[in-house]
Each structure stands twice: as C-alpha cells, then as structure tokens.
A and B are shown apart, each in its own frame.
Chain A
Amino acid sequence: MESTKYVIIFILILTGAVAISLTGLREATKSQAATNEDIFNKRAILTAVENYLPGGKKVSELSDQEVLALFDEMKQPVVNMEGEPIEGVKAEDINMAKERKKPEPERRLPVYIYEHDGEKFYILSVRGNGLWDEIWGNIALKSDLNTVAGAAFDHKGETPGLGAEIKDNPAFAKQFQGKKIYDDGEYVSIKVRKGGAKDDTYEVDGISGATVTADGVEEMLYRGLKYYQPYLKDLKQQSLLVQ
C-alpha cells in the first residue's frame, strides 16, 4: 500500500498535467470554435428565408463566407418590449436562451431585416417549451408584416421521429409559408391543429404522436410573436407615413 503522501503527490501531478494540456488545447481552438458556432446559428436563422437566398441557393449550399457576408449586409435592430429600438447592440449578439430567463418587461428582441431583390423580410426569433426541453424558431415575415415567408424550428431534446420532426421534417416548417398572423388587423398568430389544418390561412397540420411539441410550437408562436407586436405596429405606421 502506497503512502498517503505518494497518493496525493501523484494525483496533483496528474491533474496538473491534464489541466495544463487541456487548457492549452482549448485556448488554441477557442476562436475557431466560436466562429463555427456563430456560423451554425446564422445558418439556422437564414433557413427561415431559404426560398429567397441569393442565386436560388439553399442554406446548405452557401459557403461560410457567404453566410457571414449576408449577415454583414443585414440591418439588425434590437427592440425592447415596447417596440423601441435599443442602441449599441446587434441582433446577432442577442442570446435568446438568456433573454428568456429575464422577467418579461426586460427582454430584448432581435430583428433581422433581410433584403432580397428589393423586398424586405423581417426575421423574428421565438423561443418556448416543447415536451422535454426548450424549442425555438425563426419566423420570416414579408414586407406586409402579415404573411409568413418561411419558418425554421429547432429543439434541444424532443423525441426523434415524433417531436423532433419540427426540425427533421422540412415539410412541417414549409407549411408555414404563406400563412398570415393577422385576421383583419387583429393579431391571431398561427395554430398547429391536431388532426389536420381546417383553415388555409391561420392553421397548419400537427404531427401525429407529438401533440405536446406541436402545442408547444403554437404557444411559442403566439407568445413570441406577440412580444413583437409594438414593434410591428410602429413599423406599419412608419410605412403608412412614407406612402
């Protein structure tokens, strides 16, 4: 049996060596890893306007440089819950997971204004709860601020083949294209209907076996887009003034 002193010295040397080498590796890879994460998140946002990308490309066909260039061109305002712009911060710096932990009045909302062929798209971020963990998505509105141009969802831990279909099955997100969030000027959001959509304009089909996730998507959209209402209202008034 080894002496206690030997055991302690052995462990100290081992953990010290491991700590130093791992720190070195982490420092060496940190900046590239952060860039990778950034590009990954930006691609997820661009998926909401996948039909309107330059050259008719898909998000997976864009190179990393093209993704970054698109975001550099975008206007990225951040607004508070009253719809007033917050200076000095860009939408891509907003971490939705952190914002969601804040009390509602203090949350900041990112807006990505994407332009393609002279048409403006407003990409809004929403976040909510699925069955097992958080779900989130990005919704692109056309310049009428009513029609959905596209949507993309992601999740942390929904069941593969069931709830995870909100991300894995492109047909689910595709249904949102062309839907509207206002009924005669009144905010209604989009419903995810179990058993099939009954309304062409304000409903999409749910996913069999994933009722809770689908309800989560509906709730997330209703609440998430509601946060943006003051901002969208201001935008509409401004565009009326311009006309």
Chain B
Amino acid sequence: MAETAVKEKEPVFQFGKNERKLLTDPLNDNNPITVQVLGICSALAVTSLVYPSLVMAIAVVFVCAFSSLFTSLLRNYIPKSVRMIVQLVIIASLVTVVELTLKYLNYPVYKQLSVYIGLIITNCIVMGRLEAFSMANKPWRSFLDGVGNGLGYGVILVAVGVVREIFGKGSLFAGSPIELKIIGPTANYLINTTDSVMFGWYANNNLMVLPASAMFIIGIMIWIQRSYNTKLVDVS
C-alpha cells in the first residue's frame, strides 16, 4: 500500500530568509534608483526639500506594495492580452487614493508635490515590479517585494533630499511641524551667518535647489555604493 505523503501546507505569511531578502535586496544590491536607474524623473524633481521627499517615498511604498498585492491576487484571472492595462488600472486607482488622501490630510504638501503624485503611475519601478514579480508570485511575497522596492526608492529620495535641503536652504524638514533651521542669515537659525565668526563666509548653494544637483548627488551615491559593493561593478 502506497503511503500518501501528507504534504505540509505552506503558511501564507511566512517570513524566512527568502522573504527577508525580498525586503533588503532592493535597498542595496538591486536598488531601483542606483542600480536599475529607474524612477529618476521624480527623484530629481521632488527632492529639493526633505518633507515632500518623505511624503513621496511613503506614497510610492504604498502604491508599490498594494499594486503588487492586488496584481498577485488577480494574477491567475488577468487575461494575458490586456495584462498591462489591468496593471495600469490598479496602479492608477491606488495613486488616486493617495492623491485624495493627501488632499484630505495635508493640502500644502499636496500642492507642493503637484503633478508628481500623479506621475507615480508612470514610475517604471511600480510597473516593472508588477511585470517581473507579482505576475508570477504569491500575494504575500509580492507584497514584500513591493514594500522593498518602494523603500529602496524612498531611502535614496530622502537621502538626496537631506543633502539638497541642508546645502540649498540651510534647513531640514521645512514645511513640516518639526522644521529645523540650521544655517542662514537670520537669528532664527542655529548658526547665524551674519554674526558668526566661523561661518560668516557661508551662503546657500543655489545649484542644490535645482533638479540638476540631484543628478550629481545620485551619481556620487552610485559611485560610493559601487566602491564598496564590488559585485555591482561591470568588469567587461
């Protein structure tokens, strides 16, 4: 009599080594911005201040995670001939959710991010993950992959924002309740350049306010990353 092997059912919310890799891989080895060079448009455009960058990062994590989840849930039902349209519908509706929520919660930031919230729809990172991962993986893993890629994008966005805001405006988190004024020509700043002996020469770098500076900063980040993470270096 043949023994019937009782196949152990895999738990839905497993969190092992593979799952952790889904989250951490996009942060370094497979970063959407510095390695795959996707999503550059918004990374250049919204990073002049930290606070909007942070809101944008959260929005992309949300859209990326939930579009991956929904696509993965529907993956066996989506007709192959219209799969891209279906993915776009899912992304677009989630972006609309973000837009409406932002209008509801924080109108000034909504104004500041203006078209870039809408442009998450065309962010290659989101659609790329749906095509490459969610269409072929289970919902939980897809969700983690979406969160990971959103975070990989968001980390770079906030890092660029910090550099640009400190050197371009002399502040941090401007426009948010925890605004920090660091260096500038009035008494409100921690370092007042008008009466400081050491920093009297200091002036904000206007290039940092312009989107072009983000390209230099991302370039330098790619350089730093590749100098310690040698497996990314293309030897050919």
A151-188 CB contact bits vs B (8 Å, 1 = yes)? 00000000111100000100000000000000000000
| B210 and A29 form a contact (CB under 8 A) | no
> Which B62-99 residues sit within 8 Å CB-CB of chain A?
77-82, 85-86, 89-90, 93, 96-97
| B210 and A40 form a contact (CB under 8 A) | no
> Which A199-226 residues sit within 8 Å CB-CB of chain B?
none
B164-177 CB contact bits vs A (8 Å, 1 = yes)? 00001000000000
Q: Which of B48, B89, B104, B207 is within 8 Å of A14, CB to CB?
A: B89
A66 to B: closest C-beta gap in Å: 17
Interface size class of B (residues with CB under 8 A): 20 to 34
Given A2-B81, A22-B93, A40-B107, A161 and B100 touching (CB < 8 A)? Answer: no
A22 to B100, CA, bound (A): 9
A36 to B103, CA, bound (A): 7
Enumerate chain B residues within 8 angstroms of A160, measured Cβ to Cβ: 48, 209-211
Enumerate chain A residues within 8 angstroms of B77, measured Cβ to Cβ: 10
Q: What residue in chain A is nearest B208 (Cβ atoms)?
A: A161
Whether B28 sits at the interface, judged by CB under 8 Å, is: no
> What total of chain A residues lie within 8 Å of the partner, measured CB to CB?
25
A64 to B97, CA, bound (A): 25
| A22 and B89 form a contact (CB under 8 A) | no
Whether B206 sits at the interface, judged by CB under 8 Å, is: yes
Q: Which of B80, B103, B108 is within 8 Å of A29, CB to CB?
A: B103
Q: What residue in chain B is nearest A164 (Cβ atoms)?
A: B209
| A25 and B81 form a contact (CB under 8 A) | no
Whether B111 sits at the interface, judged by CB under 8 Å, is: yes
| A161 and B209 form a contact (CB under 8 A) | yes
Q: Which residues of A contact B (CB under 8 A)?
A: 1-2, 6-7, 10-11, 14-15, 18, 21-22, 25-26, 29, 32-33, 36-37, 39-40, 159-162, 168
Write 24 A-B pairs (CB below 8 A) sorted by A numbering.
A1-B80, A1-B81, A2-B80, A6-B79, A7-B79, A7-B81, A10-B77, A10-B79, A14-B86, A14-B89, A15-B89, A18-B90, A29-B100, A29-B103, A29-B104, A36-B103, A36-B104, A39-B107, A40-B107, A159-B210, A160-B209, A160-B210, A161-B209, A162-B210
